[in-house]
Amino acid sequence: MDDLLTELERQLCHSSFFTQASLEKHGKLADKLDTYVTALIDLLVQGGVIAVDDLRVAVDENRRAQAEATRDRYDREGTLPPWPNVVVREDDGATPAPEVEIDCAARIDVCHAVCCTLPFPLSAAEVEAGKVKWDLGHPYVIRHDSHGRCVHNDPAAGTCGVYHDRPAVCRGYSCAHDERIWKDFDNMVLNEEYLGSRARSDYTFRPASAAAVPVTVTSPRRLAAPMPGVTADCDPPIDLPVAG
């Protein structure tokens, strides 16, 4: 039970950090862009340099290109967009088949199911099904514990606690050609350099743009006179903080 409470507390901290970091990140960007971009667009439209309809088409194309670049980078490198960001996997709902069938039982003593440390986003359907846990500090990426391992993986046995409901990424995954896992697949030589260089899935609190307000915290002082609506003969007495 203590381990579960510790993990819950860790996830709540991650969630809080994500909210703070996201608001800060997007707030800074919005403040910067709102003034300059709006003014620039107004000048260009008023000067007849661009048409509103052409601008709309260009914006839609830019969004599509950015999404495609993010997808390609993940497919090639397994790299997620920089945190904080919200990531949801798109798929066609079909059940994928591994490119190469792996005899996991023959390799588990070597790899210890290290594939279960790789991050990936869940699909909207998997999130809504509620069978697989995602990280509150990085929606909607598969949840890892403090050691960087999927929370559904049993590290001792290498088994999956949600095997029959596992994400499509897991169903279609094969480590045969994954250079993140193996230096030499046939001889079962792990890529220790890569696997040892990855950061653990923890997030830190680094406020940057939020205004810091210096305050002095003191013990509450008893009011000299009761506040309106507060009787003076309360039992036990009421101590209320006052400003100043």
The letter for the amino acid at 203 is: Y
Greater model confidence, 189 or 5: 189
Quick check: 244 pLDDT over 60?
A: no
Amino acid 234: pLDDT = 42
Q: What pLDDT digit, counting tens, does each position of 169-210 carry?
A: 999 899 998 898 999 999 999 999 888 887 666 666 666 645
Q: What pLDDT digit, counting tens, does each position of 132-143 carry?
A: 999 988 889 999
Q: Is the distance from CB of 200 to CB of 146 less than 8 angstroms?
A: yes
Amino acid 232: pLDDT = 43
Dist. CA 118–CA 198, nearest whole Å: 10
Amino acid 123: pLDDT = 92
Dist. CA 156–CA 48, nearest whole Å: 68
Write down the mean pLDDT value for the chain. 80
Amino acid 211: pLDDT = 54
Nearest CA to 204 out of 17, 30, 35 is that of 17
User: Exposure of 16 by Cβ count < 10 A (0-12 exposed, 13-18 middle, 19+ buried)?
Assistant: middle
Token couple for 58: 């260009």
What value, to the nearest 5°, has the Cα angle with vertex 90 and ends 84 and 96?
Answer: 125
Nearest CA to 150 out of 137, 165, 162 is that of 162
Quick check: 75 pLDDT over 70?
A: yes
Q: Looking at residue 226, what DSSP letter applies?
A: P
Q: What pLDDT digit, counting tens, does each position of 86-115 carry?
A: 888 887 777 777 778 888 889 999 998 999
**How confident is residue 212, by pLDDT bands cut at 50, 70 and 90?**
low
**How confident is residue 8, by pLDDT bands cut at 50, 70 and 90?**
confident
Amino acid 219: pLDDT = 57
Q: What pLDDT digit, counting tens, does each position of 14-69 carry?
A: 888 888 788 888 888 888 888 888 888 889 988 999 898 898 899 899 988 888 88
Amino acid 206: pLDDT = 67
**How confident is residue 225, by pLDDT bands cut at 50, 70 and 90?**
low
Greater model confidence, 71 or 203: 71
Q: Looking at residue 189, what DSSP letter applies?
A: E
Amino acid 122: pLDDT = 93
Q: Which residues contact 120 (CB under 8 A, 6 or more apart)?
A: 78, 80, 89, 141, 142, 167, 169
Amino acid 200: pLDDT = 66
